[in-house]
Chains A and B, each alone.
Chain A
Amino acid sequence: MIFRALLASAFLFTANAHAADFSKGSKAKEWNLYGEEKALFSGKVVDILCELTGNCAANCGDGKRHMGIVRSADNQLIAVLKNRQASFNGATEDLLPYCNKMVDVDGLMIGEDEVVTTKFYMVQLIRISGEDKWNKTTRWTKQWRAKNPEAKGKGAWFRRDPRVKKQLAKTGHFGLGLEFDAKYLEENE
């Protein structure tokens, strides 16, 4: 009888953790994305590959690996896809200074896919757990400039990125070749 009651309590606790609302106190900016929910929580910043497999690299891969957050409230590994910048930037550069540290994060859980029902995270603010000052997740562009000094110039980074330009020169904008691009331009003048 006691065993059943305890087991039932354990499952109830778990169900509550899954349904937990992390939006309380969040100051995350809304983006009107699929399944968007504000989420403020604490956890440990991890190198995902290391967390899953034990294949760990110094300093969480030094910016070369995808990073996540193991949420303290329910031990879930939260995959972080995006920082707060609005120009196609991931989150690794913003999580890297906190490798293996406990942090508070504020941002958005997103996604309502029919097949992949788990949500993913956009981190907008981060701080060492318990500190007062929040840091905006905007490190990406500065790091890109440092890695690509030859790409100096005006305009968005993605118009100047050497790796993007190299692929576009090979495959065209639709991946169907340069002749296809030329034809598209003719038809859409």
Chain B
Amino acid sequence: MLTKLFQITLLATGTLIGSGLTPASASTAGKVVEIKGEIIDTWCYFSGVMGDSDATRGTAHHTCALWCAAGGIPVGVRTEEGEVYMVLKFKGEDPLEQSDTIMEIQSDIITARGMHYLRDGVNYIVVEDVVANDGITYLSHEDYDSVPPFSAPKKKK
């Protein structure tokens, strides 16, 4: 009986270690980080629905990023190396608060300080402070115009 119990425990432990998984409902250890990156719309960036990932950043995609942020699609911070941190809180606010906070930083390059959590290959960040905001620096409209095309400005009737 004891041997069987030992075997089951060993199997469970081995499985968790091998997978890098966390037991359900257990908190994940976070660590303080400072990262610099562009505020992006994670859906358009990862899915390819609007074209390649470079087209879904910067000026070309700014209006679409506003639409997606207002639509409740998770916002991410994309570093120069291409890592993406999904924002779970931003300066004390939940990300889907109906406020302007998350809208005002779309497509900006920010330096964010906060708590980083990694689970199952996804980076998450609770942004506690924005140390610097360089604004929009990636002039992607020069290559991609407006993405999607119907997000371009229109003359008022």
Contact = CB atoms under 8 A, between A and B. Distances in A.
B62 interface: yes
What 6 A-B pairs come out closest when comparing CB atoms?
A: A10-B14, A90-B72, A118-B121, A115-B82, A34-B48, A64-B94
Contacts, number: 213
Given A88-B67, A163-B70, A7 B82 contact: no
B57 to A, nearest CB: 11
10 contacts: A2-B7, A34-B46, A34-B47, A51-B25, A79-B122, A118-B121, A120-B46, A168-B63, A171-B62, A174-B136
Contacts of A114: 82
Q: Does more than half of chain A's interface fall in helix, strand or loop, or is it mixed?
A: mixed
Contact of A158 (B15, B70, B100, B107): B70
B21 A6 contact: no
Contacts of A7: 10, 14
Contacts of A115: 81-84
A179 B151 CA distance: 17
Contact of A81 (B42, B124, B135): B42
Nearest to B19: A14
B66 A65 contact: no
Interface in B44-87: 46-49, 53, 59-60, 62-64, 66-68, 70-74, 81-84, 86
A132 to B, nearest CB: 26
Interface string A133-153: 000000010000001000000
Interface of A: 2-3, 6-7, 9-11, 13-15, 17-18, 31, 33-34, 44, 48-49, 51-54, 57, 61, 63-66, 70, 74-79, 81-82, 87-93, 110-111, 113-118, 120, 122, 140, 147, 158, 161, 163-164, 166-168, 171-176, 181, 184-185, 188-189
A171 B88 CA distance: 25
B73 A14 contact: no
Contacts of A167: 66, 100, 103-104, 106
A87 B71 contact: yes
A164 B19 contact: no
Contacts of A52: 27-28, 30, 88, 117, 119, 124
A79 B86 contact: yes
A31 to B, nearest CB: 7
A90 B141 contact: no
Interface in B78-122: 81-84, 86, 88-89, 94-98, 100, 103-104, 106-107, 115, 117, 119-122
Given A13-B15, A53-B27, A167-B106, A140 B88 contact: no
| From A52, A92, A140, A158, residue with most partner B Cβ within 10 Å | A52
A75 B27 contact: no
A34 B56 CA distance: 13
B43 A81 contact: yes
Contacts of A185: 153-155
Given A53-B30, A54-B27, A164-B70, A117 B121 contact: yes
